[in-house]
A and B are shown apart, each in its own frame.
Chain A
C-alpha cells in the first residue's frame, strides 16, 4: 500500500496557493470553505493520478465534495460528467458535488495522450476508469477512517449519499471524516461498481455550471482581472508570416489610456504590433490609427482560386498510398460514378474570443487561459520567457467554446502574448497583461479546418455492388510538423485527413491516395476533424449507389453494415423513431439518411426535407446514437443538438473562409456565416442502450447531417451537391 506523501507541509502550501488563486481569480467557481486539512494537495510526482485522489477530490467540513478536473470544459459538459464518475464510486450526495478546473500539472495529464489535453472526444473514454477509481479510493479512505473512529471493521460499513453507515445505525458524514480520511493510506487497488449498480451514472443530470452560466456570474478567461492589469490588442500581418517593415505609433500612443506599442516576433516567424492600454477600448481605438508598412515579400500568398486549380491538378497525379486496392475494373466499368468534392477552409469562431492573461515576474510566470492543451501551452510560454515549465503556473479558465481552436500545438496566441510580456518587462513595466483577440483577429487569424478536394471514381454494377473505388484526397496535413505527427502521420499519410474513408466500415475496395500540399495557411483540427469532410463524401456516394441500383438507402446500408452491430443499432433506432418507411410524407417531402462512425461512436440521422423556392427546408431530424454507456443522457442530447447544428451550418451560404492574394476575405460574423436560431430544426435524439465503457460524443454528431440533408435534396430535385457550402 502506498502512503500518500501529502504531509501537512505540502497541503499547507497547496492551501495557501489555492487561496491565493481563489481570491479574485476565477479559479474556483464556487466560494469554498477550505478546512486546513482537506484542500487539494499539489499533485505529487511519481504517483499515478489514480493514486493521489487528493489532487482530484477535496471534501470540506460541510461535506461539499469538489472534483478538480484535469479536463477543460468548453461547453461539452465534462465538469458535470467527471464529478458524476467520482460521485458514483464515492457514494456522494450529488447535491454536494462541485467542480473546479485544474491547472497545468503532471497529475492531470491524459493517461493515453500523456499530455494535459481535451479533444478527440476522449474525456469520458479516457477518464472512465481513472475518475471512478479516484472516487472509489476516496470512499475506501473515508470508510477506513470511519472504521478507526468506530473501532469496527471496515468490511461491515456501508456508504450512501455522503454518509458512512454502521450496522448499528451510527452515521458519520463525509464532512466529519474528511480530514481523517486524507491521513489514511491510499489503497493500491479498488473494486468498481458494475453498471447495474449505478445510481447516478446514466441518469439525466443537470449541469453543475448551469446556474452560474445563466445569471452572468460565470467567469471566463476573458473576464479575468487583476489590479493594475493592462489589456493588449494585437495587430497581425495581413498575410500569414509577413513582417512589420516600419510603423508609426504616434497617433496610437496619443490616445488616452495607451501605455505603449511594441513590435513583437510572432509564433510563425512573422512580426506584429501589440498595443498595451488600460482597457480594451483605448487599445482597440489605438490599433485603428497605427500606421504600418508591411513587408509581405518572401511569404507565400495563398489564393483560394489558385489553390483549387492546383488541387484539381494534383488529384490527377499519383499520390501517397494510404490504402492499396485493385482499381482495374474502372477501365471497363459498365457503370461509373466520377465525382469531385470540394470543402473550404473553416474557422471555428468560438463565442469567447481567444485571450490569455500573463503575469510575468522575471523568474516565474502565471498564465490564466481557457486552454485545451495546458501542458503544451505551459511549456511554450516557458520557452519564450526562458523559464523552465515548472516556473510557469498555468491556470485553466472556463472556456467559451473551443471546437479544437483552443488546442494548438504551437500555442500560437499564448506565444505571442508571452512575447508581449517579455517586451514589456524589458521596457521596465511590471504587472499582468491580458491579451484579447478581436473577432476579426479570430476569423482572419488562421488555424482553419483545411480546404479539401476529393476525386472519386467508382465502378459498380447498378445493383449495389462496387467493383472498384479509386479515391484521392488532397489537403494540407494538420499534424505534420507538430509533435502529434508521431501518432497520426504514417508513411506520409496524415490519418486526421483520411479518417472516415480509411477505416470505413463499408466493405468497399477503396484504393486511397493522398496529396498533402504545403500552403502558407495554418491549419488545425476542427470539430470532427477528417470526418467533417469524409462523411459527406462517403454518405452521399453510398446514397447514390443505392439509388442507382433502385435499392432503398436504408436497406442498402443495412446490407453493407451487417458485420457492424453498433452501426446497425444506431441506424435502426433512427429509422424506427423517425417513421421512415412507415409514415407517409406530405407531397414534395423526402427522407434523407446518413450514418457515420467517428471517435468510437456512431450517429445516424434520418431527416425529413422539402424544398421551398430552391432552398431546403429541414422539417425534422431524428438521431440514433451509439456511444456505448451514456454517462449523462442530457449531455448526449446537447452534444447531438450542437454538433448537428454545426454540421448543418457547413451547408449555408457564407460558411467558408477564402483567401485572395494571401489576404483572408472574411472579417467577422457579418460575412463568415454561422447558424442562427431559426436554422435549428425540430430534433429528437435517441440513445442505443449499452453498458460498455463510454465512447466519444463531442464530435460524432457533426459529420452525418450534411450528407443526410444532401441525400434528401437529391431525392426531391435530382441534384447532387458535391460541395460545401451548397452551391446554388
Chain B
C-alpha cells in the first residue's frame, strides 16, 4: 500500500468519526450552553433534596411514558400505548408503523389525538434507541438517580450534558406544552431547571455515602471543539496531501 493510499484510508476512518461531529459543530446553537459548576463547598443534603424534586418530574407521565424498558406508555395512567407500537432500533418505531406515522410536527389540537413536535421541519417524536433505552420506569430514589446520572445508561452524558439536555432539549420542553388533556409536570420548567442546577452544584449526589462529584464534566460543545481541533491537526499535519514517503511501510 502506498503512503497516499494509507493517507486516504486514514481520511476515511477519521471522516467516519469526525463528520458527524462536524455536522453537529456546524449546527451548534449560536449561544453555547453554560453549564453549572460544582460548588467548592457542596452540601450533600441540598443536592439530595434537589434530586427528590427532580424525580417528581422524571417519574411524571410526561417523561416516564417514554423512559421505559419496552413499548411506550400513553396518557396519565401508565397505560400501554394504543395502537400497539414498538420502539424499534432507533427509537422511532418499526417501519412501516413509525412514531412519525401518527405523531406529526405539532400536537394535535383535539383531545385523545397524538402529540407532536418538529425537528428540522420534520416530525421529531421518538423514544430513546434500543441500545440506550434510558429507562427508569419502576425505579426511584438512589436507583433512579444512578441510572439517570451514569453515562453508561444516560446516553453517554456528563453532568454538564445532562443539564443541557434537561434545560434545552425540545422533547423535554414539550412536557410543559403537551397538548390538550395531558397533565403538566408537578412544577414549572424554570423551577425544574433550578432544581437541576442545585443538584449539580451540590455534587450531584444520589445517596448518602458515595463521594460527591467534583466536576460537571465536558459539555457537548467542548467535545465538538476538541474533535474539530483533532481534525484540524490532521489537516495541518499535511499527511493528507503528502506525496513523498515519510518512511517505509511495514
Instruction: List the interface of chain A (C-beta within 8 A of B).
Output: 285, 288, 667-668, 670-671, 673, 676, 678
Contact = CB atoms under 8 A, between A and B. Distances in A.
B112 A667 contact: yes
A299 to B, nearest CB: 24
A605 B1 CA distance: 74
A676 B109 contact: no
A288 B109 contact: yes
B18 to A, nearest CB: 45
A678 B84 contact: yes
B246 interface: no
A23 B109 CA distance: 37
Interface of A is mostly: loop
Contacts of A671: 112
Interface of B: 82-84, 109-112
B83 A668 contact: no
A670 B84 contact: no
A530 to B, nearest CB: 31
A668 B112 contact: yes
Q: Which 4 pairs, one residue from A and one from B, show the smallest C-beta to C-beta distance?
A: A670-B112, A668-B112, A667-B112, A670-B82
B111 A667 contact: yes
B127 to A, nearest CB: 19
Contacts of B111: 667
A285 B109 CA distance: 9
Contacts of B83: 676
Contacts of A285: 109
A232 B109 CA distance: 20
Contacts of B112: 667-668, 670-671
Contacts of A667: 111-112
Contacts of A668: 112
A285 B113 CA distance: 14
Residue among B84, B109, B110 with most chain A CB within 10 A: B110
Contacts of B84: 676, 678
Most buried by B among A668, A670, A673: A670
B210 to A, nearest CB: 38
Contacts of A678: 84
A673 B79 CA distance: 13
A320 to B, nearest CB: 42
A671 B84 CA distance: 13
A126 B110 CA distance: 45
Contacts of B109: 285, 288
Given A288-B110, A673-B82, 5 more contacts: A285-B109, A288-B109, A667-B112, A676-B83, A676-B84
Contacts of A676: 83-84
13 contacts: A285-B109, A288-B109, A288-B110, A667-B111, A667-B112, A668-B112, A670-B82, A670-B112, A671-B112, A673-B82, A676-B83, A676-B84, A678-B84
Nearest to B180: A288
Nearest to A284: B110
A143 B82 CA distance: 61
A288 B111 CA distance: 10
Nearest to A439: B112
Nearest to A678: B84
A653 to B, nearest CB: 11
Nearest to B111: A667
B61 to A, nearest CB: 15
Contacts of B110: 288
A673 B84 CA distance: 12
Contacts of A670: 82, 112
A288 B109 CA distance: 9
A614 to B, nearest CB: 16
B68 to A, nearest CB: 18
B133 to A, nearest CB: 22
B26 to A, nearest CB: 39
A673 B83 CA distance: 10
A288 B26 CA distance: 43
Nearest to A438: B110
A477 B220 CA distance: 69
A670 B111 CA distance: 11
A29 B112 CA distance: 36
A676 B111 CA distance: 22
A678 B109 CA distance: 30
A657 to B, nearest CB: 16
A670 B75 CA distance: 11
Nearest to B112: A670
A671 B109 CA distance: 18
B25 to A, nearest CB: 42
B113 to A, nearest CB: 9
A670 B84 CA distance: 11
B79 to A, nearest CB: 9
A371 B82 CA distance: 32
Contacts of A673: 82
A617 to B, nearest CB: 16
A367 B112 CA distance: 33
A676 B83 CA distance: 9
A128 to B, nearest CB: 42
B72 to A, nearest CB: 14
A670 B110 CA distance: 13
A671 B80 CA distance: 12
Contacts of A288: 109-110
Nearest to B75: A670
A229 B83 CA distance: 35
B104 to A, nearest CB: 15
A671 B79 CA distance: 11
Nearest to A668: B112
A421 B155 CA distance: 60
B202 to A, nearest CB: 43
Contacts of B82: 670, 673
A667 B180 CA distance: 14
B74 to A, nearest CB: 9
A671 B75 CA distance: 11
A119 B83 CA distance: 32
A408 to B, nearest CB: 26
A7 to B, nearest CB: 56
Nearest to A667: B112
Nearest to A288: B109
A671 B111 CA distance: 12
A676 B109 CA distance: 26
Nearest to A669: B82
A673 B111 CA distance: 17
A283 B139 CA distance: 46
A232 to B, nearest CB: 18
A289 to B, nearest CB: 10
A218 B4 CA distance: 65
B179 to A, nearest CB: 13
A285 B180 CA distance: 14
B140 to A, nearest CB: 25
A616 B83 CA distance: 20
Nearest to B181: A667
A668 B108 CA distance: 15
Nearest to A285: B109
A303 to B, nearest CB: 21
B107 to A, nearest CB: 14
Nearest to A671: B112
A18 B118 CA distance: 51
Nearest to A654: B82
A438 to B, nearest CB: 9
A288 B181 CA distance: 13
A288 B110 CA distance: 8
A258 to B, nearest CB: 16
A285 B108 CA distance: 12
Nearest to A673: B82
